[in-house]
Amino acid sequence: MVVHRLMVLSAAAVAALTSNSFAGPCSLEIDRLQTRIQAMLAAEAAVGPSERESTSALLHRQPTPGSIAAAEERLREVSATRARAFSEALARSRAADRAGDKKTCDQALADVLRTIAPLPPGRANE
């Protein structure tokens, strides 16, 4: 699962990095963010996926094969959704950069950052 996520995001990163050598208004920021994301993905892949303990686990109940499978599926779905959101936002930032649209590029980069580290529930409008 981790390998799949890493492959998807790495493929998106390679495609984005090799798509154009033109230096637009936010190319440097895109490249810096790309380096940061690659380091983060490598660290996540080394650790593996995780999820918070459930209430049942805190009560010393053993997980069932079904509950383990359900948790793994949730993690796959979250990972795939996050990978798509990251890839789409990065593609928008590259397209805006090629078009010379700094404002749209900055917004897309902010979307990438939110994908990496979403704001806590009470701060979603920031």
Mean of all residue pLDDT scores within the chain: 76
pTM of the predicted structure, to 2 decimals:
0.58
Q: What is the pLDDT of residue 64?
A: 85
**Which stretches of the chain are DSSP H helices?**
2-18, 27-47, 55-58, 65-99, 102-116
Count CA atoms within 13 Å of residue 90 on its CB side.
28
- pLDDT tens by residue, 15-41: 555 554 557 888 999 889 888 888 887
Tokens of 58: 């805190």
